[in-house]
Amino acid sequence: MRPGPRWAFVATTLACLLTINGAVMAGNTTWDRNARWLEEQITVCAGGNDEDACRYFPARALARLFGLAEFCSGGNCMSASEIAAKVAAGGEWSLLGPATDQKILTQAQDMAVGGLAVIAVRVWGDMGLVALVMPGKLFPSQSWKHEVPISTGARVDKPSASIYGKGLNFLFADPTKVTLYVHK
């Protein structure tokens, strides 16, 4: 006995549902699950009423997104300059290179798409800025004259300039002072 047209319809419908369900599950990344929290943290920081939201954003975000508790102990978290010093020392973090190199920017974006924790760091004096590279496509930057990764980051020095889902060039004016790292 041959399956009839009704069986073909059921099989096709089932295959479509499995494909859609697989696509939905594939889109359920740590970034997807935490998008609302990340945006809320950036909004609170940008409001300028909670300096801790800005100061500890990178440490809290790395812990929440990737389970990297190395920057927070209990309720105490490291600032961006402390994080920068720790990642520059090596250990669990590998240097990718300077933000002036298109190959490094592309590699950082590819690694973020692959699910790795990738950060961009700038240190000046006792201040610092750490941005998390987000998965997605590269963004053309006229000021950097490169395609740059999209990112999220909180600025302690200028909270209203904190970003979510914009190119690294929105946080860092000068790519010659920015270094990228990946967690091993």
Give residue-wise pLDDT tens across range 90-118.
889 999 999 999 999 999 999 999 999 99
User: What one-character DSSP code corresponds to residue 55?
Assistant: H
pLDDT of residue 21: 39
Angle at 125 between CA 102 and CA 118, to 5 degrees: 35
| Amino acid (one-letter) located at 128 | G
Distance separating the N- and C-terminal Cα atoms of the chain: 57
pLDDT of residue 126: 72
Class of domain 5-183 (CATH, top level) = alpha beta
Q: Which two tokens stand for residue 72?
A: 């927070």
What pTM value is reported for the model?
0.84
pLDDT of residue 19: 36
pLDDT of residue 10: 40
Q: Which two tokens stand for residue 112?
A: 């973020």
Residue ranges of the chain with per-residue pLDDT less than 50 = 1, 7-26
Burial of residue 102 (CB within 10 Å: 0-12, 13-18, 19+) is: middle
Cβ atoms of residues 61 and 68 within 8 Å? no
Q: Which two tokens stand for residue 79?
A: 């600032």
pLDDT of residue 40: 96
Give per-residue pLDDT as tens, 147-164: 999 999 999 989 999 999
| Amino acid (one-letter) located at 74 | G
Radius of gyration of the chain, Cα coordinates, nearest whole angstrom: 20
